Structure 1
Amino acid sequence: MARMELKDVTKSYGSVEVMRDINLAIDDGEFIVLVGPSGCGKSTLLRMIAGLEPISGGEFTIDGARMNEVRPRDRDIAMVFQSYALYPHMTVGRNMGFSMEIAGAPKEDRARKVAEAAKVLGLEKLVDRYPRELSGGQRQRVAMGRAIIREPRAFLFDEPLSNLDASLRIEMRLEIARLHQALKSTMVYVTHDQVEALTLADRIVVLEAGRIQQVGSPLELYERPANKFVAQFIGSPTMNVLPATPDEAGVRLPQGATLDLGREIATLGTVELGIRPEHIDVVDPAQGDIRAKADVVEHLGSDTNIYVRTEHQGGLMVRVHGNIAMTPGAPLGLRLQRENLHLFAADGTALGRKPALAA
């Protein structure tokens, strides 16, 4: 296992700085997931850790040793890419043990290591097959087995499941979770998939425009986002954000309803309210904080997603547990659960949730 740390790391291409002020400590055995929109720098950061991209400024250490100038092969890190990159003319077993083969390891040692990795990944019956005879999920397991055999200090994953279909993604997500539990190794994982991030990570690192926006546990980021960007990026469907005007009683919505969030809110100036779709109750139009009309209704079985149109707030999204009878165009009232409201300042900084504000 390995403890890794990035201190004031920057990355530039010529005069263009694409990453700055990257400070992150990764503990031994921790599973870190890097997320963010396309172009935010998550794959670049992973490649700097691997040594495939030079670090322009700052310092990267593994167990206290500076790694900036150390070659990728000497960092003792294994990387699993989006592409399986298997040798088509080699069997599964030889693909997995090829790094030991080119290093001159004895044949019996290679066979033992391949057997151990195959057992961990459920590939025992496939070691004599060729990649063309495997499914996508099986090929990705072979790619992970190739990394396991090296017994590295840390594993890096660059969107390893993005080429798989939905059912295989679920299967492989469970495989990676089991792998981490079995090996207890340090893992850094890049993905754009919300479910992968929230279910696999010990901590999530949210990146945007080359900067870290927040680092925390999945639940912390979901319930206590540091700013509006994180609030709307973490969680699917995304958080609703509504304009609001502070007054003596709390905040006033554009339709005129006032939410009692405490008199201290009046000193904050311009604010926005955040509320997740599952924290909005559907009520009689006369009893809601917001009057709306159903626009699109999605029946998902376990839940119902209702996209609504309002007169002043534009579109909002509501998630209701179970199936409810709702047709497009139907009038409805929306009641915002006070205990689950988030407040954001004009610059997007989170001001807290309602209970914290009232304390």
Structure 2
Amino acid sequence: MSRIELNNVVKRYGSVEVLRDINLDIQDGEFIVLVGPSGCGKSTLLRMIAGLEPISGGDFLIDGERMNDVQPRDRDIAMVFQSYALYPHMDVARNMGFSMEIRKDSVSERRTRVEAAAKTLGLSALTDRLPRALSGGQRQRVAMGRAIIRDPRAFLFDEPLSNLDAALRVEMRLEIARMHKKLGATMIYVTHDQVEALTLADRIVVLHGGDIQQVGTPLDLYERPANKFVAQFIGSPTMNMLPTADQANGFVLSNGKEIALSEGRYSCQVSELGVRPEHIDIVAPDEGDLVGVADVVERLGSDTNIYVQVDGLGSTLVRRSGNLPISSGDRLGLHLQRNNIHLFTAEGARLER
């Protein structure tokens, strides 16, 4: 497999700059996930790596070789699309080995590679079936097998699971994780799905507005987001944001409630205090940092989500493990776990504590 480098890469459509100064170093065998809201440029970036979109500026390198002007077929990169794009008149084996057939590789070599890929993906018993006789998950595995057979320098995935139902998404996510572990391949994966990003990635790249907001391991992004956007984009449900102002020994919320912290003053003005729903404890009303009334209670079996209308602040989401005996209308105290509080400036930057 290969090391991929993007150095000050830019993408423009006319006068519109959709990607700016993208710098990314992807190590040999690394699994990188690109995430971000619709229109942030993640699929465009993937297509630029594949050679399906021209690069407007900067350098794209594979193993130190500049690839900006190299044709897609000569980059030796395999791409798995959202659509399976299988040939309906060809069986699984021929669909998987068709690229080798076009290259006029020998029948014996083609058969050996197809059998190996089918075994890797659990398709050995299905190689004589046509696509119409396969489930959605099986068709996506055939599409991945077609990529594996090429033995490429890198694999690109453009939201490959978005057309599958929830159960199949879980199954295919596990298949992709196993495939990466077995092949040790360099993989770049685009998704909107938080679970896919957090469970598959060695590192996550968060894009927004054409810029990279943060690059890091899933836990780095979850526990130490670089800014307010990353804090609210990574993690489901999203982080609560509470307007606040500096005080001598901590912070005061917009409803006048003081939150004492031991760290002291900061060089920058703190504008908002962030806390994830699972980092808020439910206590007696007279013991809470905040007090409010349970508005909506969502029972998920393993967890309970409680939307609390906090006095003077509005809705705050609390997530606790298990099925809590709380009903709409109950008055609750909320304790913010001090070690899990995040502080943000008016510009959205996170302050290190």
State the TM bucket, normalised to the shorter chain. over 0.9
Query: Is 2:95–2:146's contact at 8 Å kept on the other side of the alignment?
Result: yes
- Residue identity opposite 1:164 in structure 2: L
Matched residue SS, 1:138: helix
Alignment of 1:1-359 (within 5 A): 1-262=1-262, 264-265=264-265, 268-352=268-352, 357=353
- Of 305-314 and 166-175, the range deviating more from structure 2: 305-314
Shift, 1:270, TM fit: 4.0
How far apart, CA to CA, are the structure 1 residues paired with 2:289 and 2:255? Answer: 8
Distance 1:29 1:108, change over 3 A: same
Shift, 1:266, TM fit: 6.2
Deviations, residues 9-37 of structure 1 (Å, cap 9, x unaligned): 00000011111010000000000000000
Query: Is 1:248–1:266's contact at 8 Å kept on the other side of the alignment?
Result: no
How far apart, CA to CA, are the structure 2 residues paired with 1:165 and 1:91? Answer: 24
**Matched-pair identity in %:** 69
Shift, 1:299, TM fit: 0.7
Moved segments of 4+, more than 4 Å:
none
- Of 2-11 and 258-267, the range deviating more from structure 2: 258-267
Q: What TM-score comes out, normalization by structure 2 length? A: 0.98
Query: Is 1:82–1:163's contact at 8 Å kept on the other side of the alignment?
Result: yes
Matched residue SS, 2:24: strand
Shift, 1:267, TM fit: 5.2
Shift, 1:185, TM fit: 0.6
Shift, 1:263, TM fit: 6.6
Query: Is 1:255–1:290's contact at 8 Å kept on the other side of the alignment?
Result: no
How far apart, CA to CA, are the structure 2 residues paired with 1:218 and 1:193? Answer: 13
Deviations, residues 120-156 of structure 1 (Å, cap 9, x unaligned): 0000000000000000000000000000000001000
Distance 1:131 1:247, change over 3 A: same
Distance 1:267 1:186, change over 3 A: closer
Query: Is 1:251–1:265's contact at 8 Å kept on the other side of the alignment?
Result: no
How far apart, CA to CA, are the structure 1 residues paired with 2:55 and 2:249? Answer: 52
How far apart, CA to CA, are the structure 2 residues paired with 1:38 and 1:193? Answer: 12
Query: Is 2:284–2:333's contact at 8 Å kept on the other side of the alignment?
Result: yes
Query: Is 1:11–1:18's contact at 8 Å kept on the other side of the alignment?
Result: yes
How far apart, CA to CA, are the structure 2 residues paired with 1:40 and 1:333? Answer: 39
Q: Which runs of 5+ in 2 are unaligned?
A: none
How far apart, CA to CA, are the structure 1 residues paired with 2:24 and 2:151? Answer: 24
- Residue identity opposite 2:18 in structure 1: V
Matched residue SS, 1:286: helix
- Residue identity opposite 1:257 in structure 2: K
How far apart, CA to CA, are the structure 2 residues paired with 1:326 and 1:157? Answer: 43
Query: Is 1:250–1:259's contact at 8 Å kept on the other side of the alignment?
Result: yes
How far apart, CA to CA, are the structure 2 residues paired with 1:267 and 1:45? Answer: 37
Query: Is 2:238–2:277's contact at 8 Å kept on the other side of the alignment?
Result: yes
Query: Is 2:203–2:218's contact at 8 Å kept on the other side of the alignment?
Result: yes
- Residue identity opposite 2:287 in structure 1: Q
How far apart, CA to CA, are the structure 2 residues paired with 1:316 and 1:67? Answer: 49
Query: Is 2:270–2:343's contact at 8 Å kept on the other side of the alignment?
Result: no
After superposition, the CA RMSD in angstroms is 1.0
Shift, 1:240, TM fit: 0.6
